[in-house]
Amino acid sequence: MAENIYATDSRDFRHLLSLGFTETEAIRLVYMRNHVSEQTEYREIMAEKHRLNFVRWLIEHNRISR
């Protein structure tokens, strides 16, 4: 897994090891830290999509006007 190579080269990885985390745990934590913003952006995009779909439904069912 390419992510392992990236994670093990970081200062965060070495710090987690010094705190007593195993290599596997440290790799997973570094990976999660580096990718959490992607997940947040995805959730925000999906929430916006749901809001727009709801507004579209309101317009189509004459609940609000354009």
Per-residue pLDDT of the chain in tens (66 residues, 90 and over written 9):
445 556 677 899 999 999 999 999 999 999 888 888 788 888 899 999 999 999 999 999 999 877
pLDDT computed for residue 1 by the predictor: 44
pTM for the complete prediction? 0.52
- Spell out the SS3 assignment of 1-66: CHHHHHHHCCHHHHHHHHCCCCHHHHHHHHHHHHHHHHHHHHHHHHHHHHHHHHHHHHHHCCCCCC
Residue 19 has a pLDDT of 96
Distance in Å from the first CA to the final CA of the chain: 51
pLDDT value at residue 7: 63
